[in-house]
Amino acid sequence: RPSSSGCRSAMVTMSQNQSYSASVNAEIEVHLKQAIPMRPPLEVFEPMNHFSFGAPRTTAPALCVAACELVGGQRDQAMAAAAALHLMRAASFTHEQLPLTDRPRPKFRPVTHHAYSPNIELLLPDAIVPFGFELLAKSDDPAQDNSERILRVMIEIARAMGSQGMVEGQYYEVERSQSEGEGLNDVGWIVDVCKKKEGGLHACGAACGAILGGGSEEEIEKLRKFGLYVGMIRGILHGVGRKEKGLETTVEELRNLALKELEEFKGGNLEAISGFVNL
Amino acid sequence: RPSSSGCRSAMVTMSQNQSYSASVNAEIEVHLKQAIPMRPPLEVFEPMNHFSFGAPRTTAPALCVAACELVGGQRDQAMAAAAALHLMRAASFTHEQLPLTDRPRPKFRPVTHHAYSPNIELLLPDAIVPFGFELLAKSDDPAQDNSERILRVMIEIARAMGSQGMVEGQYYEVERSQSEGEGLNDVGWIVDVCKKKEGGLHACGAACGAILGGGSEEEIEKLRKFGLYVGMIRGILHGVGRKEKGLETTVEELRNLALKELEEFKGGNLEAISGFVNL
pLDDT digits 0-9 by tens, B131-185: 999 999 999 998 989 999 999 999 999 999 998 899 999 998 888 877 755 555 6
Closest in A126, A152, A164 to B92, CB measured: A126
In a mutagenesis test of the A interface, which of B103, B133, B173, B192 is the best target, namely the one with the most A β-carbons within 10 Å? B133
With a cut of 90, say whether residue B61 has pLDDT above it: yes
The minimum CA-CA distance between B101 and chain A, rounded to whole Å, is: 4
In a mutagenesis test of the A interface, which of B167, B178, B179 is the best target, namely the one with the most A β-carbons within 10 Å? B167
Question: In the predicted model, what is the mean pLDDT of residues B68-79?
Answer: 96
Question: In the predicted model, what is the mean pLDDT of residues A218-246?
Answer: 94
Q: Which residues from B are below 8 Å from A129, CB to CB?
A: 126, 129-130
**Residue pairs between chains A and B whose CB atoms are closer than 8 Å:** 164
Q: B14: exposed, middle or buried (C-beta count within 10 Å: 0-12, 13-18, 19+)?
A: middle
If phi > 0 it is left, if psi is from -120 to 50 it is alpha, else beta; for residue B184 that is: alpha
State whether A92 and B162 contact (CB < 8 Å).
no
| Residue B181, helix vs strand vs coil | coil
State whether A124 and B170 contact (CB < 8 Å).
no
The minimum CA-CA distance between A191 and chain B, rounded to whole Å, is: 19
Q: Which residues from B are below 8 Å from A123, CB to CB?
A: 95, 167, 170-171, 174
Farthest-apart Cα atoms in chain A, separation: 59
Among all residues of chain B, which has the CA nearest to that of A132? Answer: B158
φ, ψ of residue A51 in degrees (nearest 5): -75, -30
- pLDDT score recorded for residue A213: 97
Residue B219 or residue B102, greater confidence: B219
Q: Which residues from A are below 8 Å from B128, CB to CB?
A: 163
Among all residues of chain A, which has the CA nearest to that of B92? Answer: A126
Q: Which of A41, A122, A137, A88 is nearest to B159 (CA)?
A: A137
Q: How confident is the model at residue A170 (pLDDT cuts 50, 70, 90)?
A: very high
State whether B167 and A124 contact (CB < 8 Å).
yes
Q: Which of B75, B94, B73 is nearest to B25 (CA)?
A: B75
With a cut of 50, say whether residue A253 has pLDDT above it: yes
The minimum CA-CA distance between A123 and chain B, rounded to whole Å, is: 6
DSSP string, B248-274: HHHHHHHHHHHHHHTTT--STTHHHHH
Give the orientation angle of helix A4-12 with respect to helix A14-35, to 10 degrees.
Answer: 70
Q: Round to whole Å and give the CA distance between B162 and B151.
A: 16
> What CATH architecture is A4-99+114-278?
Orthogonal Bundle (1.10)
Q: Which residues from A are below 8 Å from B161, CB to CB?
A: 126-127, 130
DSSP string, chain A: ---HHHHHHHHHTHHHHHHHHHHHHHHHHHHHHHHS---SSHHHHHHHHHHHHHSPP-SHHHHHHHHHHHTT--HHHHHHHHHHHHHHHHHHHHHHH--BTT----TTS------S-HHHHHHHHHHHHHHHHHHHHHT--TTTT-HHHHHHHHHHHHHHHSTTTHHHHHHHHHHHHH-TTS-S--HHHHHHHHIIIIIHHHHHHHHHHHHHTT--HHHHHHHHHHHHHHHHHHHHHHSTTTT-SS-HHHHHHHHHHHHHHTTT--STTHHHHHGGGG-
State whether A123 and B171 contact (CB < 8 Å).
yes
> CA angle at residue B58 from B250 to B218, to 5 degrees?
65
H/E stretch holding B138: helix B118-138
- What number is the ipTM of this complex? 0.88
Q: Which residues from A are below 8 Å from B131, CB to CB?
A: 158, 162-163
Q: What is the pLDDT of residues A80-111, one digit of tens each?
A: 999 999 999 999 999 998 887 545 555 555 55
Q: What CATH class does B4-96+118-278 carry?
A: mainly alpha
Q: Which residues from B are below 8 Å from A134, CB to CB?
A: 154-155, 158-159, 162
DSSP string, B28-54: HHHHHHHHS---SSHHHHHHHHHHHHH
Closest in B118, B142, B159 to A103, CB measured: B118
Q: What is the pLDDT of residues B166-176, one digit of tens each?
A: 999 999 888 88
Q: Which residues from B are below 8 Å from A174, CB to CB?
A: 119, 123
Q: How confident is the model at residue A43 (pLDDT cuts 50, 70, 90)?
A: confident
Q: Which residues from B are below 8 Å from A164, CB to CB?
A: 41, 44
Q: Round to whole Å and give the CA distance between A259 and A263.
A: 7
